Amino acid sequence: MHDIRAIRENPAAWDAALSRRGLESQSASVLAMDEERRAAIHAAETAQAEQNRASKEVGKAKASGDEAEFERLRALVSAKKAEVAEMQAKAKELDSQLTDLLMGVPNLPYDDVPEGADEDDNVEIRRWGTPAAYDFAPKEHYQLEGVQKGMDFETAAKLSGARFVVLSGAVARIHRALAQFMLDTHTEENGLTETWTPVLVREEMMYGTGQLPKFGEDSYQTREGWWLVPTAEVTLTNIVNGLTVDEDYLPRRYVAHTQCFRSEAGSAGRDTAGMLRQHQFEKVEMVSVTHPENSREELDRMTGCAQGILERLGLPYRTVVLCTGDMGFGARRTHDIEVWLPGQNTYREISSVSVCGDFQARRMNARFKPGAGGKPDYVHTLNGSGLAVGRCLIAVLENGQQADGSVKLPEALHPWLRGKTTLTADGDLV
């Protein structure tokens, strides 16, 4: 959420930053509501002071026997009490309206985020690996002979509908091994703390990380009011919800492997074949909670963690900075990592790493106490996939495919497969 004081102090700068996202100026409406809210608060405080003064005089009038003055003052106290209640209710309602308005405004991009309208304007900043050359036409993951036995979309459709899959046998084993490989690498080499969190969360947690109120249609809600997490970003970031921690508590670096759930609203007709875009999928998610001075450096560190997984697996990728028109709602800068998929002959997103500044922290009221003293300040938060497990499975299968329908598996993954190196064309691990 945005700092109303910063908007008051420099509304032009706030509007200019929003315009880079393609949004119209909003400071005038925000400040008008803020002014009305502050006027109601002032009126309530003034009426309260007048009520307090009149209350003190009531006793004096009673003691002096001045019945007329006593009745006048008592009536005044009653009127002021009603006025205070009315002004407080008005101020509370305006405060709620202002909060709702600011909750729906996206974060401001950093100055070095490239200007642009959509993904065509994203800027590549790194490329690693060379896509393999094949002496046959490479297939997509679900077309590979060795994969078809263990990737069942028909049964999943019977169980749940479109955009679900049942994995079994060797394919399920490789999928699990990838998640374990990611977790072990992040905890043992990258210094992240492994965390296991719920996949059902309270509504206020979704507000805290920015999935609500604007993007409710992208997620699933139960009849009891819980929300299914679209990513473990929700739970990991909200660990500090409502807390004021000591400065030496920072940074906190978490990683979790969870099921994730997304309705894929608005994606009808996109990536309907295979398991690239599913309603239920798994991710290994990274979240960092940092001191404000260190968050930009942390963005590069987290990006390196995600890139390192792909490099260990020998999967070619490129990293791009998202332009202002393609950034997510809560981000100030985002690095997308796109892995090479030979079956599609293109790069596809496998990780998105974002720094949010204090945007989420304000929504969560998450602060830290400076070690040198002074007022508590908001922490900064970051999140990123490390990686999307299903998409990593797709990349491993497609990049390792052989002419006979088998798949050579990355050497880095062999220890998590008990030495198995190949998915055969018959769908077995050997």
Tens of pLDDT, residue by residue, the chain (430 residues): 899 999 999 999 999 999 999 999 999 999 999 999 999 999 988 888 888 887 777 767 776 776 777 778 778 878 888 888 898 999 999 999 999 999 999 999 999 999 999 999 999 999 999 999 999 999 999 999 999 999 999 999 999 999 999 999 999 999 999 999 999 999 999 999 999 999 999 999 999 999 999 899 999 999 999 999 999 999 999 999 999 999 999 999 999 999 999 998 666 677 778 999 999 999 999 999 999 999 999 999 999 999 999 999 999 999 999 999 999 999 999 999 999 999 999 999 999 999 999 999 999 999 999 999 999 999 999 999 999 999 999 999 999 999 999 999 999 999 999 999 999 999 999 9
Portions of the chain given CATH number 3.30.930.10: 119-423
pLDDT of res. 268: 67
pLDDT of res. 112: 96
Q: How far apart are CA 378 and CA 368, in angstroms?
A: 6
CA distances from 407 to 23, 67, 137, 261 (A): 47, 98, 15, 29
pLDDT of res. 267: 67
Sign (positive/negative) of CA torsion 157, 159, 160, 164?
negative
Q: How many other C-beta atoms lie within 10 A of the C-beta of residue 10?
A: 13
Q: How many other C-beta atoms lie within 10 A of the C-beta of residue 93?
A: 12
**Residue 295 — φ and ψ, nearest 5°?**
-70, -35
Residue 25 annotated as binding? no
Single pTM value for the model: 0.93
Strand partners, 195: none
Q: How far apart are CA 208 and CA 103, in angstroms?
A: 10
Q: Catalytic residue positions?
A: 262, 277, 349, 352, 391
Residue 224 annotated as binding? no
Question: Between vectors from CA 294 to CA 289 and to CA 297, what angle results, nearest 5°?
Answer: 105
Residue 35 annotated as binding? no
Residue 285 annotated as binding? yes
Residue 231 annotated as binding? yes
Residue 263 annotated as binding? yes
Closest alpha carbon to 201 in 171, 174, 173, 224 = 224
Residue 232 annotated as binding? yes
Residue 155 annotated as binding? no
**Residue 194 — φ and ψ, nearest 5°?**
-65, 135
pLDDT of res. 67: 73
pLDDT of res. 221: 97
Residue 239 annotated as binding? no
Residue 385 annotated as binding? yes
Class of domain 119-423: alpha beta
Portions of the chain given CATH number 1.10.287.40: 4-103
Class of domain 4-103: mainly alpha
